[in-house]
Structure 1
Amino acid sequence: MKKKKKFYITTPIYYVNDKPSVGTAYTTVTADIIARWHRLKDEDVFYLTGLDENAQKTVQASIKLGFKDIKKFTDFMAEEYLKTWKALNISNDDFIRTTEERHHKLVTEFVEKIKKKGDIYKGTYSGLYCEGCEAFKTEDDLVNGLCLDHLKEPKYIEEQNYFFKLSKYQDKISKHIKENPDFIQPNSRRNEIINFLNKGLKDLSITRQSMNWGIPFPGDEKTHLYVWFDALTNYLHPKEYWPANIHLMGKDIVRFHALTWIGMLLSANYKLPKKVFAHGFFTVNGQKMSKTLGNIIDPVYLVNKYGVDALRYFYAREIPFGNDGDFSEESLKTRLNNELANELGNLVSRTLAIIEKKLNSEIRKDSTDKTLFKNLDVKKIDKFMETLEIHNAIAAIMGFVQDCNSYINDNAPWQIEEKSKLNKILYNLTDAIRIISILIYPFMPSTSEKINKQLQIEKNQTLEYCKPGLLKNLFIKKGDILFTKVLTKEEEQYEAKFNNTKCYVDQDVVKLGIKVKFAELIGLNIKRKHMGLEKLKDEIEHNFKVNEKVLEGYNSYYKKLDIKNGKCSVYNLIELVQKGGKLPTINTAVDSYNLVSLKKSLVVGAHDREKIKGSVRFKILNGTEFYIPLFKTEREEVITGEFGCVDDEKVLCRLDIKQGDQTKVTEETKNLILYVQGNEFTSDQYLNEALEEICNLIIKFCGGEYRMIE
């Protein structure tokens, strides 16, 4: 059996003085994406994260929060981190806590090796110490006497300490960086380290007499190890995986990893890590994260509000990896709505819905349509991941998702009756979705698993399965939608103007093949006629073409209902134009939708919103509903088994032709509910485009605003 290639990735171990933020979550999620990608390549992966509990700020935080026992405080914070990583679906293989006995043992052994090398000596240290950074600062590091990262004045400290001869390894560190140009990435961080090296490395104070918390210095129990000398050693725990392939961290601690840690390893005769990668900082809505500003966001709150995979996707997609970037909920909502819900979610939902309806949920193995897969380049995506261009990798995957959506639109499988042709199109779409599910697994593991469950195929397939044509015969099991859209702030403000009338289509109506798309229009100024609209009507009247396939779909459900001589409203418009040459002039709202109804061969309905009681619903009528026909005043019985559009009190329209009088659209109507009604031969896209065209025409000639009702 071939031995698997090892891959070892680490995050920094985080301070426990505060709960995880979107910043620490960013590091941990991106490391998880990288780890999962290498598992996808069937490598032997080890992903290490954990907590740095031996810092001075740990003591200060425990006192501030009222903990008398520091260990109980660290246990409490460890649980907070573990809960957060679980919520974010982090797949780490170990979770180091520096208060653990195994870590104390490892650190002690490591320090003893350096002592034996003669690289530790005792001396007096005086200098400026920033407790926030847990590091000494020079005057050059400060601006107006303040630490740039914490905006606080460092304290002056003078005490007897042990020192590590870091300066001894300056030449070796410099040589390693120059001979290995990819060792520190991105290049901006590499240049920063080279510039710092050129100033000359100083020996490092590695103990603190003022601390009574942490790991005692071997041979001198009265003093404790400096937190960084303790913390960095955690990376050596999985010794069978050392050296690390990637140390991942924020750019603020790259010096410790690229200089201090490398010097420590050289002294103790360990192999060096292969790459140190420092990502950028997150601001929140353009401002640096700060307790004072109150803009530190709990990642669990975001997971609960938007879903774990939406947040993971945002982290991967929003910012070129290595650069600084801004976090805002509005940007997260936009990515969720436009890319996950509209692109990925819609692709899966549309494809499986057609398979379920037209092929009885069964797909047979077929030949591969190379045109669909021509832009899919798995090797290129893998190269992006190897060079840590995570944003480019997920962008390439989503580009293939867009190709699939174009393929389904171009081939219109909802209109195809020939089973062999239909099966080939849907086989290729399903095969593409299978491949997408594999590729997105590192980024959105929960979504990948949901897709696999609906396809009823094995999960956790490796990258080698991302080849077209591997899909075999299968029965799909369509499930819930993958992503739920959320309103952006702008949309929330816009929606507040509307009445938010709820619109539904009962399943009994859906089973007939009836599809309905709704919109709400407000602030209308409807007139008797408009010359611009009359000109448009004249153009359509002379140039329209009947879509026989769409009309066949309407006839189909009339037959299912056994309605003899039943014809949809489109036939009336066709007959009016063919006999009289003109569409009727009723008012600028009705004339606008009649125009598109004729042009698209689609049934359209509209009702005065202020006359509607409660919600709008398409249902099968039971014969007891209240109904007054158009231009009449007396109630008329409805026929049991017909479908109709109703509100909570009455029938708004019987079938798709018998308008009720109470909600008719007149020149007094200011707000209305509009719908286009399709059938098995009309795609969602066709209906949505028609609905938007009608809304835009009405707005053009009547003013006002509109919204599509999901």
Structure 2
Amino acid sequence: MTDTSSTTVPDAARESGEARGPFYITTAIDYANGEPHIGHTYEKILADAIARYHRLAGFDTYFLTGTDEHGEKISKAARASGRSEQDFVDDLATRAFRGLWDRLGISYDDFIRTTEERHKAYVREILQRVYDTGDIYYAEYEGLYSVGAERFVTEKELVNGILPGDKEPPELRREANYFFRMEKYQAWLLEFLQQNPAFIEPAGYRNEVLEMLREPIGDLSISRPKSRVPWGIELPWDDNHVTYVWFDALLNYVSALEAVGRPELFERAWHVIGKDILKPHAVFWPTMLRAAGLPLYEKLVVHAHILAEDGRKMGKSLGNAIDPAALVTEYGPDAVRYTLLRETTLASDSPYGENILRSRLESDLANDLGNLLSRTASMVQKYRGGVLPAPGEQTERERGVEARARALPGEVLAFVRHLRVNQALEAGMEFVRDLNRYIAEQKPWELARSEETRERLDTVLYTAVEGLRVASVLLEAAIPTKARELRAQLGLSDTRYALAGDWGLTPPGTTLQPGAVLFPKPQPREGEEAAAPAPARRKDRT
């Protein structure tokens, strides 16, 4: 995959006239057969950060997430727990998934569940529509069936006899189902992807789909006998069959909009998904939309996996799984959000764990950002009684800080629009480090010794405070709670700011409000003298 370690912002995204119209972003809806894991968590944080950046930049943003609650695996898991399927998914959807997303500050506008009537009614409507066109037929089929993925698979998809992501080999099944004529749309989809290279990003995943489409893809089994899988949406023309979970689940991206009367948003949709469900979203979904006479979405954003710190695959059976809820309890939501976004890339699997979190928390959030706020607020308190002075004449150094502050919002949005969220955060954090350098260079403690340098001290203090306000906006998508706390300490608690190239928005005379340490350094664990050293700066890739 292409290395994009350069921090050069693509020119096309820097155009000042970029539209600020509707922006619709979705995540994959999580399969409610177990507790959320770190991969679920990363995806929601990633989509949330992209949504927040767009809102700050003035886009009319709508953000959807939810849970996928039908299918064979859920039915089996519910029976094993001694509960009904509905009770089982009710608990996971509300307590486990929605509960964790709310703790993390995931700013979804809607949380859809596939067991809701608004969704089921829409699924039945689309099924009937496609059936009436003749694109659904009844046939008997024998093939390899993945219970984990709940679909028939081909030998070519298997690695050492197992579908990647599954625990068990697929089983040979023969049964009569209804099929969607997916192969009918194969040539159309191949041509579309060739003509629209930005439809699937990063590019490596688009290339994978192109390879899939150069081989026969077959038709798609879209029902299961109710006698075997009773937990699902019945087909409108045959109540002995329930809808295949993927044909059901994928329609959530449209059913949610239909329910709130905003179907026009769908053409602006960015779907954020993991690479393990690339085929359903990149092959099943576009062909389903085509058959139903619905428009295509704008972009499929695919992310890689989170690995253990040692680079191995993560999982409960390997004893190296991360409990995201425990991380949030220990370190707080903003530290988890920032470190996951900063340490991961879309195109390649990224290691993550508590040591990486602690190192980045100490280096970026505590030492760079937290220390800047603490020393700046302390100096305003000590030298000006806690009241922000009006700045005097700027030197070239202040003009440079202001120019950077004005340029950064456009650059940050460009990184986000090109799916380089980690680089967007690094750009904001580099501005914070420059403010720290600025204070070290200007030495306000020395300026405070003489009345002759009073005006110069005022300019330095104002520049530091206004720079912190700008930094809070640049980083708000990753650390929303702490960004607001930072501004509260600057005396700006009731004010929200856009991601825009503004300077001088902190009014002179504002009284700073002392507060708690923004990001306490992680306490040494047993046997440690200090937190692990900061990780080496990695190349940033999408």
Same fold (TM over 0.5): yes
The one of 131, 136, 158 equivalent to 1:120 is 136
The one of 253, 260, 274 equivalent to 2:298 is 274
The one of 220, 231, 238 equivalent to 2:238 is 220
Q: Name 2:437's counterpart in structure 1.
A: 406
C-alpha offsets along residues 424-480 of structure 1, whole Å, 9 cap, x if unaligned?
Answer: 10101111001111111111000111011111224331112x422232221111211
C-alpha offsets along residues 148-200 of structure 1, whole Å, 9 cap, x if unaligned?
Answer: 21231111111111110111111211121111110011111011000010012
1:249 equivalenced with 2:268 (yes/no): no
Decide whether the 8 Å contact of 1:337 with 1:485 is kept in 2.
Answer: yes
Q: Name 1:329's counterpart in structure 2.
A: 354
Q: Name 2:399's counterpart in structure 1.
A: 370
The one of 475, 500, 511 equivalent to 1:440 is 475
The structure with the largest strand share of the pair is: 1
1:16, distance to aligned residue in structure 2 (A): 0.9
Decide whether the 8 Å contact of 1:17 with 1:57 is kept in 2.
Answer: yes
The one of 481, 493, 508 equivalent to 2:527 is 493
Separation of aligned partners in 1, 2:185 and 2:113: 29
Q: Name 2:23's counterpart in structure 1.
A: 7
Separation of aligned partners in 2, 1:341 and 1:50: 33
Separation of aligned partners in 1, 2:164 and 2:60: 40
Decide whether the 8 Å contact of 2:63 with 2:108 is kept in 1.
Answer: yes
The one of 151, 170, 181 equivalent to 2:186 is 170
Moved more, 216-225 or 129-138: 129-138
Separation of aligned partners in 2, 1:244 and 1:57: 32
Q: Name 2:58's counterpart in structure 1.
A: 42
Separation of aligned partners in 1, 2:316 and 2:274: 19
Aligned amino acid, residue 97 of structure 1: R
Decide whether the 8 Å contact of 1:321 with 1:390 is kept in 2.
Answer: no
Aligned amino acid, residue 422 of structure 1: L
Q: Name 1:76's counterpart in structure 2.
A: 91
1:147, distance to aligned residue in structure 2 (A): 2.2
The one of 468, 480, 501 equivalent to 2:516 is 480
Q: Name 2:115's counterpart in structure 1.
A: 99
C-alpha offsets along residues 636-661 of structure 1, whole Å, 9 cap, x if unaligned?
Answer: xxxxxxxxxxxxxxxxxxxxxxxxxx
The one of 130, 135, 139 equivalent to 2:155 is 139
Separation of aligned partners in 2, 1:307 and 1:275: 32
The 5 Å alignment of 1:141-220 reads 141-209=157-225, 210-220=228-238
The one of 487, 496, 504 equivalent to 1:460 is 496
SS at 1:272's partner residue? coil
Decide whether the 8 Å contact of 2:65 with 2:110 is kept in 1.
Answer: yes
SS at 1:476's partner residue? coil
Decide whether the 8 Å contact of 1:183 with 1:275 is kept in 2.
Answer: yes
Moved more, 38-47 or 283-292: 283-292
1:347 equivalenced with 2:372 (yes/no): yes
1:486, distance to aligned residue in structure 2 (A): 1.2
Q: Name 1:317's counterpart in structure 2.
A: 342
C-alpha offsets along residues 571-590 of structure 1, whole Å, 9 cap, x if unaligned?
Answer: xxxxxxxxxxxxxxxxxxxx
Decide whether the 8 Å contact of 2:57 with 2:413 is kept in 1.
Answer: no
Separation of aligned partners in 1, 2:458 and 2:346: 41
1:138, distance to aligned residue in structure 2 (A): 1.1
Separation of aligned partners in 1, 2:34 and 2:221: 26
Aligned amino acid, residue 339 of structure 2: F
Separation of aligned partners in 1, 2:528 and 2:161: 48
Aligned amino acid, residue 348 of structure 1: L
1:276, distance to aligned residue in structure 2 (A): 0.4
Separation of aligned partners in 2, 1:460 and 1:470: 11
The structure with the largest helix share of the pair is: 2
In the alignment, structure 2 segments of 5+ residues that lack a partner are 1-18, 531-542
C-alpha offsets along residues 117-158 of structure 1, whole Å, 9 cap, x if unaligned?
Answer: 211111111111111111211111223322221231111111
Separation of aligned partners in 2, 1:475 and 1:94: 38
In the alignment, structure 1 segments of 5+ residues that lack a partner are 497-710
The runs of 4+ residues in structure 1 deviating greater than 3 Å are 373-376
The one of 465, 478, 483 equivalent to 1:430 is 465
Separation of aligned partners in 1, 2:64 and 2:289: 18
Separation of aligned partners in 2, 1:318 and 1:60: 36
Decide whether the 8 Å contact of 1:163 with 1:205 is kept in 2.
Answer: yes
Separation of aligned partners in 2, 1:459 and 1:388: 28
1:382, distance to aligned residue in structure 2 (A): 1.2
Decide whether the 8 Å contact of 1:330 with 1:488 is kept in 2.
Answer: no
Decide whether the 8 Å contact of 2:128 with 2:237 is kept in 1.
Answer: no
Pair 1:191–1:435, CA change in 2 (3 A): same
1:243, distance to aligned residue in structure 2 (A): 2.0
Q: TM-score, normalised by structure 2?
A: 0.88
SS at 1:242's partner residue? helix
Separation of aligned partners in 1, 2:466 and 2:107: 27
Q: Name 2:316's counterpart in structure 1.
A: 291
Aligned amino acid, residue 283 of structure 1: L
Q: TM-score, normalised by structure 1?
A: 0.67
- Considering only aligned residues, what root-mean-square deviation do their CA atoms show, in Å? 1.6
The one of 27, 31, 43 equivalent to 1:27 is 43
SS at 1:493's partner residue? coil
Aligned amino acid, residue 477 of structure 1: Q
Separation of aligned partners in 2, 1:62 and 1:185: 36
1:494, distance to aligned residue in structure 2 (A): 4.2
Separation of aligned partners in 2, 1:153 and 1:395: 43
Aligned residues: 490
Aligned amino acid, residue 400 of structure 2: T
Separation of aligned partners in 2, 1:488 and 1:494: 5
Aligned amino acid, residue 469 of structure 2: R
Separation of aligned partners in 2, 1:494 and 1:100: 50
